[in-house]
Amino acid sequence: MLKVVDETKKAFLTGNETIAWAALAAGADIMFGYPITPQNEVMHYWTRLAPRYGREFLQTEDEISAGFTVCGAVQAGKKAFTATAGPGNVLMQEPFGMAEAMRLPLFAIIQQRGGPSSGTVIYSQQEVALTTYGGNGEGYRIVYSSASHQEIYDYTIKGFNMAWKYRWPTFLLGDGYQAKMREPLEMYDPEEKGIKIEPTYPLVGLPGKIGEDREPQHLCNIYSLEEELYDVVMKLSAEYESIAPEIIEWQEHHCEDADIIILTHGIVSRAADDAVKALRAQGIKAGYFRPITLRPYPAQQLRDAIAKSGAKTLLVAESSYGQFERLTKQEIYGETIKMEHLYMPGVGIIDYDIISKVKSVL
């Protein structure tokens, strides 16, 4: 296979372009997609680049089809992915649910836009609930919420790897700002960095003669009896819970002596990072905590940060109306720390917004 990145190099790219390069570097075989802003350029770059490296693309008739073609391709043993946003993410919940039930190594990029409905094509953090717990299942998903183009590159590669290693549908949750803005990053060949690329393997179309070399494969996702499904769900839950500690990732700083911990995810955590620095300079003891995985959620790590700091207040700042705070509350149920929030659905949050909010609640 032709090498995508010969040597580690600096690049100045949009987030969508970064995803196309990272997917190539991760060895993705095929992308299935349907146009929607703000993810279009993932497809635009992929369709231009992929043929040079012998990779494939299909524009499907809609997102339901894009999601299910990915389900088919990964069953056939190919590293397949898709990218979508907003109403497209809604439609993809059906194939995402199939991937949860059948443990399919599906990887999807979600560039959040404003909602509900067609909303805006620009930006939000309103696809948290949908991406973590969408569908009629129990949220058996791995969801990375990126905050920079370097992370977009890193977690696209990692996302494919985690999907194939653990076989849960895996997501990179970005947003329209990250999709469209240009930022410096380092592009590298994962194997040269010592990152093992997880092997792919088919679930159907296996080699060998049926009856002689192997048994036929019968994959299914529907059961006749309540008890059968109960056993399946209990097993899935146990397996998900057992690997969750290996997957959880988070970032924190200045929590040791914090009076107030600012809890954010994704691009908003960059504003939180700036806000903490500015508040500290003004003598206000602020701390920073950011889940990188929204699913599984670093609940114990957040509880520990609260405990060791003795902080009185947890301020949740998000570009949605409480989706992230609700997720957090269910994860840290029982904590008695006072919770405050800054909800700015569908609009960006800057350090100033967080600093003002902190001052108003302290």
Ligand X SMILES: Cc1ncc(C[n+]2csc(CCOP(=O)(O)OP(=O)(O)O)c2C)c(N)n1
Instruction: Give me the 170-209 binding string for other proteins, x by CB under 8 A, dash otherwise.
Output: ----------------------------------------
Stretch that binds other proteins, among 59-67, 75-83, 258-266, 295-303 (CB under 8 A): 59-67
Among residues 28, 42, 74, 91, the one that binds ligand X under rule CB under 6 A: 91
Q: Which is nearer to ligand X, 40 or 146 (CB)?
A: 40
61 binds, among ligand X, other proteins, none (CB under 5 to 8 A by kind): other proteins
95 binds, among other proteins, ligand X, none (CB under 5 to 8 A by kind): none
Least spacing, CB of residue 105 vs other proteins, in Å: 25
Stretch that binds other proteins, among 38-46, 215-223, 240-248, 292-300 (CB under 8 A): 38-46
Least spacing, CB of residue 88 vs other proteins, in Å: 9
Among residues 3, 8, 35, 356, the one that binds ligand X under rule CB under 6 A: 35
Stretch that binds other proteins, among 46-54, 76-84, 95-103, 162-170 (CB under 8 A): 46-54
Among residues 3, 12, 62, 241, the one that binds other proteins under rule CB under 8 A: 62
C-alpha closest to that of 240 among 309, 155, 169? 169
Which residues contribute to the site for other proteins (CB under 8 A)? 33-37, 40, 43-44, 47-48, 51, 57-59, 61-63, 87, 117-118
